[in-house]
Amino acid sequence: MTNAQLEIQIILSLVAVACALPGVFLVLRKMALISDAISHSILPGIVLGFFITQDLASPLLIVMATLTGVLTVVLVEYIQKTGLVKEDTAIGLVFPSMFSIGVILIARNAGDVHLDVDAVLLGEVAFAPFDRWMYNGIDMGPKSLWMIGTILTVSISLLILFFKELKVATFDAGLAASLGFTPIGIHYGLMTVSSVTTVGAFDAIGAILVVAFMIVPAASIYLLTNNLKKMLVYSALLGVFASIVGYWIAHFLDASIAGTIATVLGLLFFMVYLFAPDKGYISQWYKIKQQKTEVAMLVFMLHIANHEEEQERNVNHLQEHINWTSQLARKVLRLANQNNMIVIKNDVVSLTPKGAEFTNKAVSYISDNKNAELEGIKQNFFLFRG
Amino acid sequence: MINEYLNLLLKDYTLQIITLGTAVLGAVCGMLGSFAVLRKQSLLGDAISHASLPGIAIVFLVLGVKSNNGLLLGALASGLVSAVFIKGIISKTHLKADTALGIVLSTFFGFGMLLLTYIQKLPNANQSGLEKYLFGQAATLLASDVWLMTAIAGISLLIVLLFWKEFKMVLFDPDYTKTLGFNVKFIDTLITSFIVIAIVMGLQTVGVVLMSAMLLAPAAAARQWTNSLAKMVMLAGLFGATSGVVGTAISASANNLSTGPVIVLIATLFVVFSFVFSPIRGLLFKQIKLWKNRNDLKLMKTLMFMYNLVKDHEDISHPHKIQLLNNFQGYTKKSLKRLQAEDLILLNRSDWSLTEKGFNTAKNLYTQEL
Amino acid sequence: MEQKIAIAIDDLTVAYNYKPVLWDIDLQIPEGVLMAIVGPNGAGKSTLLKAILDIIKPLAGSVTVYGKPYKKQRDLVAYVPQKGSVDWDFPTTALDVVMMGTYGSLGWIKRPGQTQKKQALEALEKVGMLPFQNRQISQLSGGQQQRIFLARALVQNASIYFMDEPFQGVDATTEKAIIQILKELRKAGKTVIVVHHDLQTVPEYFDWVTFLNVKKIATGPVAQIFNDDNLTKTYGINYKTSITEGKL
């Protein structure tokens, strides 16, 4: 591994962490697409800044582009407030137009600007090690490493300083206001950090793929835990992991580094989506299937408990009156029987004492919305699950 | 300069074809975009258009040729797959719609970029022209492309006309539609499919990055000018077509300008203009109405004050001195003149008196306040 | 009772994500009643309507309308959804919304014509909204919007009317006008089923009532079953005192 390769991987990892942190809050606050809007809209700010400074890592450019990002958020919120269009339409109107301005600015000045459309979409992290910061003739390392490092340091400090406020404002805006934190202050603070990070990441991974770095790690980890601290740490780690794996795959394929990392992130999300132990697709599918039979059984037992008359409790009635397919009816009968909840005499079903007790408890828990207790008695009563 | 362009347009067959193409595209996008906006699915189009990129690249990789229709079929397939993913994420996890859109949009697009850059570096791959799908290059439209677009536009227009009643009802109140016995899922799928087709149709001209704006902007602008769905759809089509034609003209007369951004900016101008100047919903009009209301309120306060002075007199039209009003701060010469202009009071040099209309108006206001 | 049964619900259970919200409901609604469905928030009142109307699929059970499955009897049923369930900023007029009531009888693709327009105008007149026919629907007050929804159902000329909280967010005049129309409907032999939340007005407005809280608590004539006992069973302890101390 050459020195340049190492530097690229460090830069990418820092970018991944810097994006993942605000990303967690964006996902939790249901504002994921604001990152899409910001990442597109900062383009004119970056281009204008670049005209002036000729340096993608210059502080002036970062300030200008960040202001453009915050301006976008303000504009979107203003349009939403006018009520002229629905909320998501407001986002969809603002960022393509800002992005268009940026692209046209680049195209009109293609001759004298070292900034092209590819750089806009993909960044140029491969060149980052060549743009170095020389201080008094000493090589201090790549400029973008310093830039993203600074941004990351600032956002981690802010995160630690305002962790409690962020947490409260994210999970309960009303409570935050009553405790004296201004949710608006937190909101615009978060928007500013998101904008700065996007600007900083832009150089390395391009405008659109910032969205992948912000949203995908946070969303994947959100399927695994609800704990905010864990979400922050693991999202950052997932981002770093994807960056390093993606870098080497891109190296091997000779393809876009940012595109490859985004693809790796997508695959990782897909794995989590399928296999997450509690909220994943497979576990949900299994649970719903199990629940379906168990709830059906409960419905059936409640029906038996409610009806004294033998005709209503006949085995055949299951299918005819309750309107079930014979397959489901048979499954329900078998499950209830296996668990010693019912006895069948002359095709007439009756509850066993155990069945009656279970039905009673389950129904009262369901009416009172006590899901945990419901799962608890299922554990106690069931020999076999659905 | 405009004349020059028009002359060129009259002579140049290629330019005519391209202009026709962008006009048709704009019209279809505006029309179908109205449905997307009213369904509150504005950003679904953004996700689907970004997500169509890997489809284009894969078809190119597999077939190795640049058959336009083949590439667009690839885009269509990958757009539909992305829609399935979005739906899967929303319905099977606790992640919200915005997150699902963000995930699919960015990772599909990233995968597309991976493939695109991989293709670019393949030896002897004639990859030139794939980048046009990023920001659109109307200049690459061929006559056959435009005829295909026109045919699709014709079909979607026919479908919209045929199912107009059903579309309108599903957009407004899907539950109610279901109770009337209509198959809501079918109508829904029909609308979504045509929106996806419109997106794919526009990729070559506007590009994956900005395509969603082509759907939203004309519709959002049109909504401001009318309260009728039919008029909104027609206007959106008109705005879209105009954006397409003007955008093409500008990008054709300038060097090195992708069509997509220019068309999107023109469409955005329509939006800004409509937001501000629309007579029924526009911000300017609303502001003026606000000022007028404030003024009216002042006048009515003056009138009430006069009424309170007059109401105990037997003759309501008995004149009073203007000085009497001095301890009421709200009146000015101008406001008295306006009250007279509305026949609410009579002015006679330094005297004023209430007219019968003025008296009754004030009396009504009084009882309302009680 | 020799009354004909308009709606028969048999062992109906509905679950959202396999969490039951309605439990084994058995309910028979006689023809010609004006019935309130009452119960606390989250009792499943709206869900019951939606399950009857096949908008949501029940987990178990069946619904028949005059002895036949609902799907075959759609023409006999009209539905007034909750006012808040639609976007009132939708670009359309009051008349247009009421016209939708005729779409069911028109079927696919066929366009509404003069006959349908005449029906819609008549319905608008009945609810006192004729002067507002060309208004954009967002420019109507909450009460007027509710009247438009009622008119849309009236156009269907059904035998059974389902209404979801028609008095929510409407002015007193509209409330009186609506209840007037409902009483006229009953006089004409129609069956009207209303999800209702204002217990005070139940005896005044309705002649039949169903208490619902996930399970069916009681159903029958207001005079017989609208009492403290059932209210307590439905709403919990607190209601007993408040109702007996009230005017009821």
Residues A130 and A98 in one domain: yes
Domain boundary among B248, B277, B306: B277
Residues A50 and A105 in one domain: yes
Residues of B at the C interface, defined by Cβ within 8 angstroms: 38, 40, 162-166, 168-169, 171-173, 175-182, 223, 226-229, 231-232
Note which residues in 306-365 of chain B have CB less than 8 A from chain A: none
Query: Are C77 and B175 within 8 A, CB to CB?
Result: no
C22–chain A nearest CA distance, Å: 10
A77–chain C nearest CA distance, Å: 19
pLDDT at position C217 is 87
pLDDT at position B365 is 73
Residues of C within 8 A of A300 (CB-CB) are 60
B40–chain C nearest CA distance, Å: 10
CA angle B45, B48, B49 (to 5 degrees): 85
Over its length of 386 residues, how does chain A's per-residue pLDDT go in tens digits? 788 899 999 999 999 999 999 999 999 988 898 999 999 999 999 888 888 887 777 888 889 999 999 999 999 999 988 888 887 899 999 999 999 999 888 887 766 656 677 777 777 777 777 778 777 778 778 888 888 999 999 999 999 999 988 888 888 766 766 766 677 888 899 999 999 999 888 878 888 889 999 999 999 999 999 899 999 999 999 999 999 999 999 999 989 899 999 999 999 999 999 998 888 888 888 887 887 777 778 878 877 877 777 777 777 776 666 667 777 778 888 888 888 888 888 778 888 888 888 888 877 777 666 666 777 777 777 777 76
Query: Are B172 and C85 within 8 A, CB to CB?
Result: no
Residues of C within 8 A of B172 (CB-CB) are 86-87, 90, 92, 97, 100
Note which residues in 270-289 of chain A have CB less than 8 A from chain B: 273, 279-281, 284-285
Domain boundary among A278, A305, A328: A278
Residue B141 pLDDT more than 90?
no
SS3 A73: helix
Residues B79 and B227 in one domain: yes
B269–chain C nearest CA distance, Å: 22
Q: Is residue A386 in some structural domain?
A: no
Domain boundary among B227, B252, B277: B277
Q: What value does the mean pLDDT of chain C take?
A: 88
How far from A292 is each of A301, C21, C75, CA to CA, in Å? 14, 14, 33
Residues A266 and A318 in one domain: no
Residues of C within 8 A of B162 (CB-CB) are 109
Residues B140 and B29 in one domain: yes
Residues of B within 8 A of C110 (CB-CB) are 165
Residues of C within 8 A of A291 (CB-CB) are 18
Q: Is B285 on the interface with A (CB under 8 A)?
A: no
Q: How confident is the model at residue C248 (pLDDT cuts 50, 70, 90)?
A: very low
Residues A226 and A330 in one domain: no
Range of the domain at A115: 3-278
Helices (H), chain B: 2-11, 13-38, 42-51, 53-63, 68-92, 97-121, 132-135, 143-162, 164-172, 174-179, 184-206, 211-223, 229-253, 259-277, 283-310, 333-341, 356-369
Among C71, C81, C92, beta carbon nearest to B176: C81
DSSP single-letter state for residue C132: G
* Average pLDDT value for residue range C76-90: 92
Against chain B, the chains showing at least 3 CB pairs within 8 Å are: A, C
Residues of B within 8 A of A108 (CB-CB) are 254, 256-257
Closest CA to C193 of C227, C234, C225, C158: C158
Q: How many domains does chain B have?
A: 2
Q: Is residue B7 in some structural domain?
A: yes
Q: Is C88 on the interface with B (CB under 8 A)?
A: no
Residues A68 and A11 sit within 8 Å (Cβ to Cβ): no
The token duo for B133 is 């799908």
Residues B205 and B290 in one domain: no
Among A83, A295, A371, beta carbon nearest to C59: A295
pLDDT at position C241 is 47
Residues A165 and A304 in one domain: no
Note which residues in 190-229 of chain A have CB less than 8 A from chain C: none
Residues B126 and B217 in one domain: yes
Q: Is residue B368 in some structural domain?
A: no
Q: Is residue B370 in some structural domain?
A: no
The token duo for B268 is 């955005």
Q: Is residue A60 in some structural domain?
A: yes
Residues B224 and B303 in one domain: no
A147–chain B nearest CA distance, Å: 24
Note which residues in 122-181 of chain B have CB less than 8 A from chain A: 131, 134-135
Residues A263 and A117 in one domain: yes
Q: Is residue B142 in some structural domain?
A: yes
Cβ neighbours of residue C41 under 8 Å, at least 6 residues apart? none
Residues A371 and A269 in one domain: no
Q: What percent of chain B has pLDDT over 90?
A: 44
Residues A34 and B43 sit within 8 Å (Cβ to Cβ): no
Residues of C at the A interface, defined by Cβ within 8 angstroms: 10-11, 13, 15, 17-20, 23-24, 26, 58-62, 89, 213-215
Residue B189 pLDDT more than 60?
yes
Domain boundary among B277, B295, B313: B277
Residues A348 and A369 in one domain: yes
Query: Are A253 and B118 within 8 A, CB to CB?
Result: yes
Range of the domain at B319: 284-363
CATH code, A71: 1.10.3470.10
Residue B96 pLDDT more than 60?
yes
Instruction: Compute the 3-state secondary structure of chain A and give helix, strand, coil in percent, each to the nearest 5.
Output: 75, 5, 20
Note which residues in 113-172 of chain A have CB less than 8 A from chain C: none
Query: Are C23 and A292 within 8 A, CB to CB?
Result: no
Cβ neighbours of residue A95 under 8 Å, at least 6 residues apart? A36, A37, A38, A40, A41, A72
Q: How many CB atoms are located within 10 Å of the residue C190 CB? A: 21
Residue B334 pLDDT more than 90?
no
Q: Is residue A121 in some structural domain?
A: yes
In B, minimum Cα distance to A257 occurs at B114
Residue B370 pLDDT more than 50?
no
Residues B67 and B93 in one domain: yes
Q: How many domains does chain A have?
A: 2
CA distance A139 to A142: 8
pLDDT at position B344 is 81
The token duo for A307 is 């009806």
Residues B247 and B105 in one domain: yes
Among C10, C11, C15, beta carbon nearest to A295: C15
Residues B10 and B105 in one domain: yes
Residue B77 pLDDT more than 90?
yes
Residues C64 and C108 sit within 8 Å (Cβ to Cβ): no
Against chain C, the chains showing at least 3 CB pairs within 8 Å are: A, B
Q: How confident is the model at residue C247 (pLDDT cuts 50, 70, 90)?
A: very low
Residues C218 and C211 sit within 8 Å (Cβ to Cβ): yes
CA distance A297 to C15: 13
Residues A50 and A94 in one domain: yes
Element (H, E) at C107: none
Residues A114 and A217 in one domain: yes
Q: How confident is the model at residue B122 (pLDDT cuts 50, 70, 90)?
A: confident
β-strands C191-195, C34-38 pairing:
parallel
Residues A160 and A296 in one domain: no
Q: What number is the ipTM of this complex?
A: 0.91
Residues B189 and B134 in one domain: yes
Q: Is residue B74 in some structural domain?
A: yes
* Average pLDDT value for residue range B341-369: 77
Residues B204 and B267 in one domain: yes
pLDDT at position B178 is 94
pLDDT at position A173 is 67
Q: Is residue A273 in some structural domain?
A: yes
Note which residues in 58-97 of chain A have CB less than 8 A from chain B: 79, 82, 84-86, 88-89, 91-93, 96-97
Query: Are C93 and B228 within 8 A, CB to CB?
Result: yes
Note the pLDDT tens digit of each residue in B242-258.
999 999 888 888 777 88
Residues B86 and B185 in one domain: yes
How far from A102 is each of B106, B258, C15, CA to CA, in Å? 20, 12, 51
Domain boundary among A252, A278, A304: A278
CATH code, B343: 1.10.10
Q: Is residue A257 in some structural domain?
A: yes
Query: Are B165 and C103 within 8 A, CB to CB?
Result: yes
Residues A315 and A377 in one domain: yes
CA distance A202 to B109: 16
Closest CA to C86 of B188, B172, B239, B21: B172
Per-position DSSP letters for A191-221, written without gaps between them: HHHHHHHHHHHHHHH-TTHHHHHHHHHHHHH
Residues of A within 8 A of B118 (CB-CB) are 253-256
Among B116, B258, B264, beta carbon nearest to A96: B264
Residues A346 and A255 sit within 8 Å (Cβ to Cβ): no
The token duo for B263 is 């068309």
Query: Are A263 and B111 within 8 A, CB to CB?
Result: yes
For residue A110, count CB atoms less than 10 angstroms from its CB and return exposed for 0-12, middle for 13-18, buried for 19 or more.
Answer: middle
Domain boundary among A254, A278, A302: A278
CATH code, A359: 1.10.10.10
Best residue of C10, C21, C26, C59 to probe chain A, by most A CBs closer than 10 Å: C59
Q: What percent of chain C has pLDDT over 70?
A: 94
In B, minimum Cα distance to A35 occurs at B102
B147–chain C nearest CA distance, Å: 28
Best residue of C56, C77, C100, C117 to probe chain B, by most B CBs closer than 10 Å: C100
SS3 C58: coil
In B, minimum Cα distance to A118 occurs at B131
Residues B151 and B101 in one domain: yes
Q: Is residue B116 in some structural domain?
A: yes
Among C15, C61, C213, beta carbon nearest to A323: C61
Q: Is residue B333 in some structural domain?
A: yes
Best residue of C16, C18, C136 to probe chain A, by most A CBs closer than 10 Å: C18
pLDDT at position B244 is 94
pLDDT at position B100 is 94
In A, minimum Cα distance to C62 occurs at A323
Query: Are B118 and A30 within 8 A, CB to CB?
Result: no
Q: How many A-B residue pairs are in contact by the CB < 8 A criterion?
A: 205
Note the pLDDT tens digit of each residue in B196-241.
999 999 988 898 889 989 999 999 999 999 999 999 999 999 999 9
pTM: 0.86
Query: Are B173 and C106 within 8 A, CB to CB?
Result: no
Q: How many CB atoms are located within 10 Å of the residue A266 CB? A: 23
CA angle B56, B60, B66 (to 5 degrees): 100
The token duo for C60 is 């178990």
pLDDT at position C146 is 95
Among B162, B165, B227, beta carbon nearest to C93: B227
Where does residue C208 fall: left (phi above 0), alpha (psi -120 to 50 degrees), or beta otherwise?
A: beta
CATH code, B143: 1.10.3470.10
Q: Is residue B369 in some structural domain?
A: no
Q: How many A-C residue pairs are in contact by the CB < 8 A criterion?
A: 53
